Structure 1
Amino acid sequence: MLKPPKEISTMADLRVQIDQLDRDLLALLALRQAHVDRAAELKPGEGMPARIEARVQDVLDKVEAEAESAGFEPALARQMWALMVDAMIAREERVLGPSA
Structure 2
Amino acid sequence: MPKMPDDCQTMPEVRAGVDALDRELVALLVTRFGYMRAAARIKPGRDAVRDEERKASVIAAAVAEAEAHKLPSDVIRDIWERLVEGSIAYELDEWDRTRT
In the alignment, what sits opposite 1:81?
A: 80
Contact 1:49–1:96 (Cα < 8 Å) also in 2: no
The aligned residue for residue 21 of structure 1 is 21
CA distance in 1, matches of 2:29, 2:22: 10
Distance in 1 separating the partners of 2:73 and 2:6: 23
Matched-pair identity in %: 35
Q: CA deviation at 1:2?
A: 4.5
Alignment of structure 1 residues 1-100 onto 2, 5 Å: 1-44=1-44, 49-96=48-95
SS at 2:71 equivalent: coil
Of 5-14 and 27-36, deviating more is 5-14
Tell me by how many angstroms 1:22 deviates: 0.5
Number of aligned residues = 96
| TM norm structure 2 | 0.85
**Structure 2 vs 1, CA of residues 80 and 24 (structure 1 numbering), >3 Å: closer, same or farther?**
same
Q: Which amino acid aligns with 2:37?
A: D
Q: Aligned Cα RMSD in Å? A: 1.9
Q: What TM-score does the superposition give when structure 1 sets the normalisation length? A: 0.85
- Maintained 8 Å contact 2:49/2:91: yes
Which of structure 1's runs of 4+ aligned residues deviate more than 4 A?
Answer: none
1:14/1:95 Cα in 2 relative to 1: closer, same or farther (>3 Å)? Answer: closer
Q: Distance in 2 between matches of 1:91 and 1:29?
A: 12
Q: CA deviation at 1:48?
A: 6.1
